Chain A
C-alpha cells in the first residue's frame, strides 16, 4: 500500500446536531464530493483511496458524517436519519463554497447521495453511485441470497443466534468473517484505511439505521426504497458495483434502469471496495466519467 496522502485542509463545520470534520485535497473548481458508507463509518477508506484523483486535476472533499470518525458523536440517535444527513451534506457544500460538485456516494453513501440528488440535484454536476443500491428490501433479499451460499446448516445457526441475540458467539462471527472477506473486501490484507474505518464504527449510528452487521438488517432503513423516484435524477450518473459486491450487481442494474442518464460498470474481480480491489481499473473508469462531465 502506498503511503496515505495528507489532506491539504481539515476544517470543522457546524451542522444540525454538532460539528463535522471535513478533509480537502487539491484545489480547483472541479470538486469530487465524497459520501462514505456505513452508516456510522469514518470516511478514511473513501478519502484515502479517492484522494488520488487530485493528480487528475480534481479537488477531492470528504467528511466524516455526524456521529462518525473525528466528527461529534451525539448520543441522541434521532439525529441519525436520512433527511438530516441530506441537509448536513448541503450545509457543508454551501459552507465551503464548492459550487456544483461531482457527487460520489459509496455504499450507504449512495442512499444518502440519491436522497440528496432528489432534493438538490441543481448543485450536482455528475453523480457516481459506487457499490450502492436504492431499494433496501431488494438489497437485503440479495444479501440473504449471499448468506445462503454458506449452506443450510450455517443459515440455521445464524438465524438462531440472531433470534436469541447471541450474535457474538464465535460461530456466528466466523460466518460473518467469511462473508466480509467474500463480499466486502477481497484483498488478502485489508488496507489500513479500511480497517480504521471499520474499527472506529459508531454502532449507535449503524444499529439505528442498519443493524448489528451487514447481513442482518433491522434498522430504520430496512423498508426504504428510492427506486420509484430515481427517474427524477437527470444529471449524468455512473453506477459501479463489484461482481461479488454485497450490494449485488442486480442492485446496480435496477438503478441503472431507472436513471435516465446513466452508465454502469461491474468490476468482475471486486466486491464492495473496487477502489482497493481493482484500483487501476476503477480510477481509470471514474476519471473517464468525471472528465466527460467537467464544466
Chain B
C-alpha cells in the first residue's frame, strides 16, 4: 500500500501553541556525558562496542532493550551512577549502534546474546557485576543469570518479564483500551500487512506514548535509539512493532526456572508499563531474594519519567549489595 501523504491534519498549526507549553522531561535539558573509555570487544568473530563511565570497584553492567536497539537511551541516564562511586558499563549489542552489524540471522538468538553478555563481562576484568537488564535486556539478564550463575552478584530486572506468552496476553489488554473498532482496524492492517497505514501508525503512537515513555517530549537519547533500530534483529526476535509479535521470543518463558536465581534482585516496573506490573510481580514471586520497586507515574522508562525516585531506589539497592 502506498503511504498516504503526511498530513498534520486539521489540528496542525491550529493555535501556534505547539509544544512550547509542555513540560520538558526532568532530565531532558541535561547535556549528555561522554564515556571515560570506549572498548571494542571481539564476539563470535565480530566486534561490539562498550562504553565505560567512572572507576569504582563495583561495576554496573547495562543490558538494554530492543532487541535491535543501541544502548544510548539506557546508557545516558545511568551514566550518572559513576558519581555515586560505581563503574557503569553499557554496550551496543551485536547488530546495534556502533557495533558490527552482520547479516547472518542465525546470530539473533537469546542464547547467543547471553554468551555475548558473558564475553563482555569477562573482557571488563572486573569479576562479578551488578547486571541491569531493561525490557528485552531483562529477558537477556534472566537467561544470563541462569546460564552463568557466577557472573552477576546482583540483578536489576527493569521493566521486564520472564514469561512472554503471559506478557502478550497483557499487551493485548493494553491495546483493547483503544476500543473495539481500533482493535478491528489494527487486526485488519496486521492481517494484510499494511502496517504503514496512517491510522495503524496512529494507534501505535498512542500506545507508545502511553506505555513506553510518558514524558511529553521524548529525551533525545530515546528518540535516537528508536531511530537507529536494527529491524532485522527486532523483526527476527520480536516483531513489526511492540504490539505485533511474531518473532522467536514469542514463546520464551523462564518463569519455572526463576527459583534457581539466588542473587539479590531488584525488580522495577512502571504502573503504566507495556511490560505490565503483573509481569514483574511474577518475577518477584519466582526469585527467592527479590524485591519490587514500582513507580506509579511511569510506564516503561522510569529513569526518564521519575528519575529522582528511580535513581534513589537503584542506588540504595546497589549500595546494599556492594562488596564481596
Contact = CB atoms under 8 A, between A and B. Distances in A.
Interface string B113-132: 00000000000000000000
Contacts of B178: 150-151, 154, 178
Interface in A165-214: 165-178, 180-182, 188-190, 195, 198-199, 201, 203, 206-207, 212-214
B206 A171 contact: yes
A73 to B, nearest CB: 15
A169 B19 contact: yes
A177 B198 contact: yes
A213 B10 CA distance: 5
Nearest to A149: B179
Nearest to B17: A165
Interface stretch (B1-9, B93-101, B277-285, B300-308): B1-9
A43 to B, nearest CB: 17
Contact of A189 (B4, B13, B182, B201): B4
Contacts of A153: 177, 210
B298 to A, nearest CB: 15
Size range of the chain A interface in the assembly: 35 or more
A293 B201 CA distance: 46
A interface: dominant SS: helix
Contacts of A214: 10
B216 interface: yes
Interface in A124-157: 149-154, 157
A166 B14 CA distance: 10
A220 B8 CA distance: 24
Contacts of A9: none
A58 to B, nearest CB: 31
Interface residues of B, number: 37
Contacts of A201: 10
B185 interface: yes
A164 interface: yes
Interface string A109-121: 0000000000000
B182 A169 contact: no
Contacts of A189: 1-2, 4
B205 A168 contact: no
Contact of A171 (B8, B182, B199, B209): B209
Contacts of A175: 202, 206
12 contacts: A150-B182, A166-B19, A171-B209, A174-B209, A177-B199, A178-B185, A178-B202, A181-B197, A198-B10, A203-B10, A207-B14, A207-B15
Interface of B: 1-2, 4-5, 7-15, 17-19, 21-22, 177-182, 185, 194, 197-199, 201-203, 205-206, 209-210, 216
Interface of A: 149-154, 157, 164-178, 180-182, 188-190, 195, 198-199, 201, 203, 206-207, 212-214, 216
Given A173-B8, A207-B15, A213-B11, 5 more contacts: A150-B206, A151-B177, A166-B216, A175-B202, A198-B9
